[in-house]
């Protein structure tokens, strides 16, 4: 059973939903950088104030900032972990590799949740989070394509990538993931 997982895919692909299910079933840490940042905004912390406008515009917050959050959370954990929404560009991949080396852990599997653009735009509009308006969604998709999509090829070359068709019902998708991580 794989213990160190990563979910890759565009906004709205269902990474958070699937990661939460696995995390609950196996008692793994669910490390969602987006969730952690939103919590800071809700609590109106210094960090939250810094990232609020950036996130509401659909831009990426700084690599250093997310790295600090990831480090803090990974070091406290030992059972297993699921990275959701991190890394999002190649520089974040490099930082993650360094951090994993330091704590002597290895990424074991990368799930790539694939889904057509039309489907995810509709899903996000229905979800209606603060950054789920048409303009911001377009921007997030563009940023995903420019910065995050290259990671698919990167992890494929490392033979870590598992393709998941994320355009279906929740149960079929979880069953597929479960089978592949066994
Ligand atoms: P989604 O992937 O559905 O857009 P997330 O919750 O993963 O939702 O991310 C929401 C926002 O949080 C992003 O648009 C970005 O502003 C910020 N964010 C999350 N993770 C990162 C990251 N690894 N690097 C930079 N910014 C991030």
Q: Residue 56: which of 125, 119, 127, 137 has the closest Cα?
A: 137
Q: Is the predicted pLDDT of residue 67 greater than 90, yes or no? A: yes
Instruction: Please state, for a pLDDT cut of 70, what percent of the chain lies above it.
Output: 98
Domain extent at residue 122: 4-181
Integer-rounded Cα Rg, in Å, for the chain is: 16
Return the CATH number at 158. Answer: 3.40.50.300
| Residue with CA closest to ligand 1 atom 1 | 11
pLDDT, residue 13, reads 96
Predicted pLDDT at 158: 98
Give pLDDT tens digits for 95-152: 999 999 999 999 999 999 999 999 999 999 999 899 999 999 999 999 999 999 999 9
Is the shortest distance between the CB of 34 and ligand 1 below 6 Å? yes
Question: Atom 2 (ligand 1): residue with closest C-alpha?
Answer: 11
What's the whole-number average pLDDT of the chain?
95
The ligand 1 atom nearest the CA atom of 58: 14
Q: Over 70: is that where the pLDDT of 77 sits? A: no
Ligand 1 lined by 140 (C-beta under 6 Å): yes
Percent of the chain having pLDDT more than 90? Answer: 94
Q: How many whole angstroms from 34 Cα to the centroid of ligand 1?
A: 5
Q: With 90 as the cut, is the pLDDT of residue 23 above it?
A: yes
The Cα 180–Cα 126 span in angstroms is 29
- Our answer on whether the CB atom of 11 is closer than 6 Å to any ligand 1 atom is yes
Is residue 30 within 6 Å of ligand 1 at its C-beta? no
Domain count, the chain: 1
């Amino acid at each position: 059973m794989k213990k160190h997982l990563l979910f890759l895919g565009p906004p709205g692909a269902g990474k958070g939903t699937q990661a939460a299910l696995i995390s609950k079933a196996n008692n793994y840490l669910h490390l969602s950088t987006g969730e952690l940042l939103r919590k800071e905004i809700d609590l109106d912390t210094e960090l939250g104030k810094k990232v609020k406008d950036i996130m509401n515009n659909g831009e990426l917050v700084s690599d250093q900032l997310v790295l600090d959050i990831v480090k803090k959370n990974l070091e406290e954990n030992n059972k297993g972990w699921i990275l959701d929404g991190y890394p999002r560009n190649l520089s974040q991949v490099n930082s993650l590799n360094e951090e994993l080396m330091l704590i002597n852990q290895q990424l074991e599997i990368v799930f790539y949740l694939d889904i057509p653009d039309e489907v995810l735009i509709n899903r996000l509009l229905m979800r209606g989070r603060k950054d789920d308006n048409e303009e911001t969604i377009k921007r997030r998709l563009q940023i995903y394509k420019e910065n995050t999509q290259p990671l698919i090829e990167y992890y494929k070359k490392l033979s870590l990538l598992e393709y998941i068709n994320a355009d279906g019902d929740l149960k079929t998708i979880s069953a597929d993931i479960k089978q592949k991580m066994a």
